[in-house]
Structures are given as C-alpha cells and as structure tokens.
Amino acid sequence: MSLTDAFGRPLRDLRISVTDRCNFRCTYCMPKEIFGPDHQFLQRDELLSYEEITRLARIFVGLGVEKIRLTGGEPLVRRDLHELIGRLSVLDGLRDITLTTNGSLLKNQAKALKEAGLKRITVSLDSLDDAVFQSMNDVGVPVATILGGIDAAAAAGLFPVKVNAVVKRGVNDHTIVDLARHFKGTGHIVRYIEFMDVGATNGWRLDHVVPAAEIIGKVNAEMPVEPVHANYRGEVAKRWRYLDGTGEIGVIASITQPFCGDCSRIRLSPEGELYTCLFGTRGFDLRALIRSGASDDELAEAIGRVWRPRTDRYSEIRSEDTVGLRKVEMSHIGG
C-alpha cells in the first residue's frame, strides 16, 4: 500500500520523537532561558508508551513507511530505549531503523542498541573545539565524551556513523574544516546542517545561516571534493566526496536549497501528535484516538486523512512572514 499527498509525494519515512527531554541545552535549540528549571516537560503518562509507539509504527509500515528514525529531545534519556528498538526492528516490511542522538550517553548503550536491531546511527557534534562545543551545548559536556560515543557505536557495528553539525555564523563556522579533517579517512560521514528557523525560541536570523555553498567551499579549499549523486530519491543531505577517495561529507541545506519536492517524511511527537512538516504549527492528535479505543483500521484511515491532502512546502515558501509563525520546537519533534 502506498499513500501519496496532494503533490504525489509518497509516505516513506517516519520520525518518532520519544521524549521532549534532553540533557543538553544547546543555545540554538533549547536555550536555558526558556528550557530552565521551571519548564514544564511532558509527564510520563502523557508520553506514548512503547506499546502505543509500536502499534502506530506497524500501521505506518502497512501504509508504506520503510524507514524509521528515533529522535527527541535526547532519545537516549528515555529509559530502556533498546526495548523499543527491539520491538520496531522486527516489524515486517520495515527496511531501516536509525537513531539521532547527541552521543553523550552512547558509550554505555551502543551495544544494546545494536543488539536490539538498530541499523544505523547519527551523532550530533557541532565542533571539535571544546570551548566552542561546550558553549553550544551549554551543559559543559566535552568533545571527548561524544567522540567516545562515536567509537563505541562503531565498535558495536553501527558503522559508518553520520556526524551532524549545525553551523551557525560567528559561533562555530571557524571550526567547519577541522571537523571534516578529523573524520576524513575514518569512514564516518560529517554532515553540515544550515541553521534552520525551526520552532519559535532560538532567535533565528538569516544572517546566522552559513550557506551550504560556503561550507563546501571552505572544505574544498583544503581537501578538494566533488558532488555525488543521491543514494535515493528524497535523500536529505547533498553528498560530496573527496577527490582522493578518502570518504565523503554532506550538507543539509534546508535554507538555501530546499528539498520539499521530495519530502516523504511524517513526524510523531512524544505525546502522539502527527506533523506533516518539520516547520508545522499544529499536529494531529493520534494519542486521543488510540486511547479512545480506535481500531487499527480507524487509525490507518486517520493517518490517510492527514497525509493525502498534505501541501506542506515550508522551506520553499519561507519568507519574513513565515519565520515568525509559532512552529513546533525542534527539541520536541526532533528534526
């Protein structure tokens, strides 16, 4: 079965945010002024349970979803995440299951995640410079902890690791090339992300964005690269490989090169709200349906009713007016 939206885009990817909590306070994502001690996070009974997530995931796979990415908040702060992965990884028809993490808790969990069936992993690491990284995560976690997590993941068989770095002008753009240099030849793939106007709390401005072309230009000046074709339709990162054959890097250029035309992603929030766009302002409440006793068919029908009329293409129509919308927070929906 395949569901297509109003522009003919199929539903293929499901991103599940398993918690709105995170042990980092990245200044561009969960600034302390807003996500401080008084911030009201979701209560345990508000979160979808692993049973509920698994049931929904099975229905999504029946509707054509082939790939699931777990995210957060920080997914590894949710207890026994490997149990959820164990349930999801055996779903009939699911081809890929992956996870995005800040890597701080990965060292102790990598083996259990892999053994539960996790296929791949993405670790966020914005800079190799300790002062820069700690000023960005704002909780004092050093680079070495994250590198240890990446090593543990690779040793567990989650190889290669994708290493995501958000680039913000004046904050970490002077460390772009170091990151590429460090991972060149290791097999791991650095992917630079243009700073995006997600959510409503990160004070985004266009002049904070370092365009993908500039990022690639900096790397290319020291380590020449050439473009590579996408692995598959709808791939988010544009790929570049080193001319000397020692690996590749990517850029996720949602601002300067929007990729809405191929977007096959749907997102489930920790409390069961369904979003058809990362820049959405409102979700559809699947938890209410599940908890009111809806059957699988009724849930599938509801998902179809959300996906079929979908016309989202936020990044293509971004303007001064859209930037101020009250969009769902990145730390809630997970990217």
CA dihedral (198, 166, 172, 73) in degrees, to 10, reads 70
Question: Between residue 123 and residue 152, which ones bind ligand SAM under the rule CB under 6 A?
Answer: 124
- Residue 201 is a binding residue for ligand SAM (CB under 6 A): no
Which of 187, 203 has the CB closer to ligand SAM? 203
Question: What are the beta bridge partners of residue 251?
Answer: 192, 238
Residues 91-110, one symbol each (x = binds ligand SAM by CB under 6 A, - = not), give ---------xxx--------
- Residue 77 is a binding residue for ligand SAM (CB under 6 A): no
Supply the minimum distance, in Å, between the C-beta of residue 297 and ligand SAM.
32
- Residue 86 is a binding residue for ligand SAM (CB under 6 A): no
- Residue 193 is a binding residue for ligand SAM (CB under 6 A): yes
Supply the minimum distance, in Å, between the C-beta of residue 309 and ligand SAM.
27
- Residue 166 is a binding residue for ligand SAM (CB under 6 A): yes
For tokens 């097999």, the residue is 187
CA dihedral (190, 191, 195, 198) in degrees, to 10, reads -120
Question: What are the beta bridge partners of residue 98?
Answer: 69, 120
Which of 215, 330 has the CB closer to ligand SAM? 330
Supply the minimum distance, in Å, between the C-beta of residue 335 and ligand SAM.
4
Distance CA 297, CA 306 (A): 14
- Residue 72 is a binding residue for ligand SAM (CB under 6 A): yes
- Tokens at 244, concatenated: 């000397």
Which of 195, 275 has the CB closer to ligand SAM? 195
Taken in order 19, 23, 26, 31, the sign of the CA dihedral is positive
Q: b/e for 93-103, b at 16 or more Cβ within 10 A?
A: ebeebbbbbbb
- Tokens at 14, concatenated: 């499901």
Q: Which residues contact ligand SAM (rule: CB under 6 A)?
A: 22, 28-29, 71-72, 74, 100-102, 124, 164, 166, 193, 195-196, 198, 202, 330-331, 334-335
